[in-house]
């Protein structure tokens, strides 16, 4: 079976999302000044409508296909963990690279609600794609994602002008392991990176007494199809899924155009290295919005 690598296509390949053509058509997707201010002050902004019911159902169908380790395009993943946790009773499915495999997960990169918000939160700079992630916590035994900062895993790219967008394909609440944030922790500087599916509180070893005092998690409960954006240094994590419903979500990570490689090594598995000091661009890092 011939497998098509959708990384070859720098634009939508289906009609699931319609890109606006005029300034007026972009206007409904703009965040308010209050939302942008909340992001800069607290390190996050939540409750942004990202998907309609048709788009949600299509993404769920595609997720069902690609979590199969025998999928014919499996080799296109950068990472694939049927369970990133070492505990068989605490399952955390986690993958990177599915934008290369199915049409809806490819085209979500050009969702106008996503790219307009990303453009605004990156201080109106052009937006370039970094990588995607899928997280699936099955009912009753879905595992944790430890407290962490995203940029602590991304120092292979500089300057730090990155952004994360988390979108639920199911309603996310405290019972099924929704995201939690530590507001204003994006002002704490770069901390060491803990193991992602390990001890929930591993990051505590790296905090000062003052930071520990301010460590007050805020749950980010969201209806399916809604998103939350956060700063690359914001401390966040999620608890286990104790409910009888799955918790499925995808993440889109981007950076401002002009970000450069900080290593001569591979940036993502299977992606040709970009020499240290050279601009992040090309087939695997498309420009999403100018």
Q: Please, what is the average pLDDT of the chain?
A: 93
CATH fold for domain 46-68+78-257: Jelly Rolls (2.60.120)
Verdict on whether the full-model pTM lies above 0.85: yes
Give the residues across from 252 on adjacent strands: 132, 165
Average pLDDT over residues 70-80: 94
Q: Distance between CA 267 and CA 154 in Å, rounded?
A: 9
pLDDT per position as a tens digit, 16-36: 999 999 999 999 999 999 999
DSSP-derived 3-state class of residue 185: helix
Closest CA to 134 of 181, 194, 85, 94: 94
Q: Distance between CA 1 and CA 6 in Å, rounded?
A: 15
What count of residues does the chain have?
290
Locate 179 and state its tokens.
């995201």
Per-residue pLDDT at 55 exceeds 80: yes
Helix crossing, 33-42 with 112-121: angle to 10°? 60
Domain boundary assignment for the chain = 46-68+78-257
């Amino acid at each position: 079976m011939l497998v098509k690598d959708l990384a070859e296509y720098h634009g939508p390949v289906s009609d699931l999302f319609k890109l606006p053509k005029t300034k007026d058509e972009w206007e409904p997707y703009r965040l308010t000044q209050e939302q942008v201010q909340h992001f800069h002050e607290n390190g996050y902004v939540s409750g942004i409508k990202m998907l309609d019911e048709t788009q949600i159902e299509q993404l769920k169908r595609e997720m069902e296909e690609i979590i199969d380790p025998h999928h014919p395009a499996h080799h296109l993943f950068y990472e694939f963990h049927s369970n990133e946790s070492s505990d068989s009773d605490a399952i955390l499915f986690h993958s990177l690279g599915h934008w290369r495999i199915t049409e809806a997960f490819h085209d979500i990169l050009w969702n106008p609600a996503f790219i307009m918000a990303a453009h605004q939160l990156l201080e109106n700079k052009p937006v370039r794609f970094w990588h995607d992630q899928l997280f699936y916590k099955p009912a009753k035994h879905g595992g944790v994602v430890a407290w962490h900062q995203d940029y602590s895993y991304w120092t292979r790219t500089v300057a730090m002008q990155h952004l994360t967008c988390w979108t639920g394909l199911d309603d996310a609440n405290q019972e099924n392991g929704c995201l939690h944030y530590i507001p204003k922790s994006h002002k704490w500087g770069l901390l060491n990176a803990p193991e992602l599916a390990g001890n929930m509180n591993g990051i505590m070893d790296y905090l000062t007494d003052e930071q520990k005092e301010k460590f007050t998690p805020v749950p980010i409960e969201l209806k399916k199809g809604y998103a939350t954006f956060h700063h690359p240094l914001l401390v966040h994590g999620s608890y286990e899924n104790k409910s009888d419903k799955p918790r499925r979500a995808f993440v889109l990570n981007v950076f401002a155009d002009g970000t450069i490689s900080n290593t001569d090594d591979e940036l993502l598995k299977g992606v040709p290295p970009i020499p240290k000091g050279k601009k992040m661009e090309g087939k695997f890092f498309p420009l999403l919005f100018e």
